[in-house]
Chain A
Amino acid sequence: MKILLIEDEPSLLVAMRHYLEGEHYNVSTANTFRTASIKAHDYEYDCVVVDITLPDGNGLAIVKELKEAHSQAGIIIVSAKNSLDDKLSGLELGADDYLTKPFHLPELNARIRSLMRRRQHEGETQLVFGAITIVPNRKQVLVANQPLEVTVKEYELLLFLVTNKNRLLSKAVIVEHVWGDYMDGIDSHDFLYTHVRNLRRKLLDAGSPDYITTRYGAGYIFTAGE
């Protein structure tokens, strides 16, 4: 899967690239409007992640160029300005998602995966991890091909864990992804424990191995075992 990252901050670009390459994406980068524009024009990408504020231009113009060229790439806008205007005009231009800085790398990965799934990229209609199958179209979870009853939040939680498998996910990152901005500044993320415990119990009861590993004080890793 080919991704173009457009970001003017070098260290951010390196970190994003590093993480996404670890997720087995084929990553290209651009740090100016000019190079971004050339790359977007010359190659086909599955996904373009573009920062709005570039030293020599506005990232929104690249969105416009891509749309005018009828590019099939999914577009995620990244902005430091948490401004509704930017978000609306970006989405109006045809961007698929909007991410506000600072963001976490697992969140970026989840957004890209979700976007690719929505666009039915390479027929990716379901996620399989060991005994667990997730069918995003129907928001359904199957364990050993048997449907498993989960709540909306449990579904979101499982999807996020599976999407970022083998990564240590801190509680704050998970909470922010599943419960959204509203939990901003809410001190105790202990309540995540209840939800993880319930999900784990349901998976175990349905006959799935225990894939959720707790790292005390840090968070959770979804992995097929040590």
Chain B
Amino acid sequence: MKLLHKTTLYLLLAAIPIALGGVFLLNAYIHLDMLHEIDELLASELIQVKAQLRQHPPSSADLPGWDPNIRIRRTSSILQPAITYTDTVAFTPGQHEKELVRMLRTTYAVGNQTYVISLQQSYLEFDEIASAVSVGAIVCFLIVVTLLVLADVLVTRRIWQPFYGIIRQLQQYRVDGPEEAAFPSSDVHEFKLLAQSLDEMSRRTRHQYAQQKQFTDNASHEMQTPLSVLSVELDLLQQSAGLDETDLNRIQRSQQEINRLSAMNKSLLLLAKIDNHQFAQNDSVNIGELVNQLVENYSDYVAHRGIMINRMIKEGPCRNMNRQLADVLFSNLIKNAIRHGDVGSSIFIQVGNNSFIITNEGDPLPFPQDQLFLRFVRNQALPQSTGLGLALVKEIAGQYGMTVKYDYASSMRRHMFQVDF
């Protein structure tokens, strides 16, 4: 949800209870005030009635019915002239309906005659006024809130403009992009600070990235050169006369270790390069074609191990990826199956529209299954293994949003790798 929508929503959510509570309080206040006004009105009317009674004491016949709101009757008992106010129900004269009225009751003595005076005043008009005032106030309140929200929307939209600019820049930001990212500055202090901090961060990151890339390149060169020296020196040593079989075996083993070290170095550099996203260039790779070609490359080795390869390969599926990485991904899986497959067993390879599956027969993993794709986890029985092949598979697959699954069917003694692409 956008920040703008969120603030608006919260403003509206706050306005509703305020409005409801306001209606209630306003209504209560108006009623209280109204009661006071009615009582005052009745009291002043009483003064007039009393004056009338004093100046023109009426005969009993005269006791009027001219105003239904004023009733006076004679009484013989002496009562305290206290004034009482009560709420009661009266019939309206014309309409024969009950209505709520305020009634003032008191006694008044003129000479030796005592009168009981009841004055009443209908609430009706006052109630109408009260509701009209309450509703009016709430409507005004809601209009004001709406206008405020609208103003807020407009102002917010304007104020956050630079912020969205920064976000757009960040979305396009590439640490290995050709040029430095420039974050838009603003006259709002916080946004200015944000842009400055991001500028600073981007500069630092780019610098570190460049250094790391440089290191990757240099490390490759610096390590391969001594390995080359070792390797060629052993090549020469091997040609010397007078070496016996043991000497030659030692040279062989040293060469093997150099090869392993070199392969490990290459794989680690490849992993670093993938981590750094240094393989930007993508081609459309025909997976079926690639897998067929890789299987051909290993055909002599497969024949030597007496392994049968069954293929079900669709030629169609193509994926956009770096050709070199695609090559490493699938050749590592195929090589893995051939090396670990039992002599004289079979390997099954399937390329479907969205998946690559390879299975081979063999003993269960000598380590826990969840360590399979970790770096340097390897089967100690194979001395030439670097323990990086499957780590590379995982890393490359991750790079292109593909998933790699592994399973072992113990009943059939088969390992299964599946890449969903």
Contact = CB atoms under 8 A, between A and B. Distances in A.
Interface of A: 9, 11-12, 15-16, 18-19, 22, 53, 80-82, 84, 100-106, 153, 167-168, 170, 172-173, 179-180, 182-187, 190-191, 194-195, 215-219
A76 to B, nearest CB: 14
Q: Is the interface of B mostly helix, strand, loop or mixed?
A: helix
Contacts of B335: 182, 185-186
Residue among B230, B252, B331 with the highest chain A CB neighbour number at 10 A: B252
Nearest to A9: B225
A12 B252 contact: no
A102 B252 contact: no
Nearest to A15: B232
A31 to B, nearest CB: 13
Nearest to A187: B384
Contact of B251 (A12, A216, A218): A218
Contacts of A215: 245, 248
Contact of B220 (A80, A173, A183): A80
Interface of B: 217, 220-222, 224-225, 227-233, 235-236, 238-239, 245, 248-249, 251-252, 255-256, 258-260, 262-263, 266, 269, 294, 297-298, 300-301, 304-305, 324, 331, 335, 339, 382-386, 389
B245 A217 contact: yes
Nearest to A167: B239
Contact of B382 (A82, A173, A187, A216): A187
A83 to B, nearest CB: 8
Nearest to B253: A217
A101 B335 CA distance: 23
A64 B255 CA distance: 35
20 contacts: A12-B228, A15-B232, A15-B235, A80-B224, A84-B324, A102-B228, A102-B230, A102-B232, A102-B258, A172-B259, A173-B235, A180-B297, A182-B298, A185-B384, A186-B301, A187-B383, A191-B300, A195-B300, A217-B245, A218-B249
Contact of B238 (A22, A168, A183, A190): A168
Nearest to A85: B281
Contacts of B231: 102-104
B301 A179 contact: yes
A88 B188 CA distance: 51
B233 A101 contact: no
Contacts of A104: 231-232, 235
Contact of A168 (B230, B233, B239, B331): B239
B216 to A, nearest CB: 10
Given A80-B224, A186-B335, A105 B236 contact: yes
A179 B304 CA distance: 13
Q: Is the interface of A mostly helix, strand, loop or mixed?
A: mixed
B86 to A, nearest CB: 102
B262 A170 contact: no
Nearest to A218: B248
The 6 A-B pairs at the shortest CB distance, nearest first, are namely A191-B304, A218-B248, A187-B384, A80-B224, A102-B228, A80-B221
B324 A16 contact: no
A187 B252 CA distance: 13
Contact of B235 (A81, A105, A179, A216): A105
A168 B384 CA distance: 22
Nearest to A53: B221
B384 A11 contact: no
Contacts of A194: 304
B233 A15 contact: yes
Contacts of A186: 301, 335, 339, 384
Contacts of B258: 102
Residue among A12, A80, A170, A195 with the highest chain B CB neighbour number at 10 A: A80
Given A81-B217, A185-B335, A191-B305, A101 B385 contact: no
A12 B229 CA distance: 5
Contacts of A185: 259-260, 263, 335, 384-386, 389
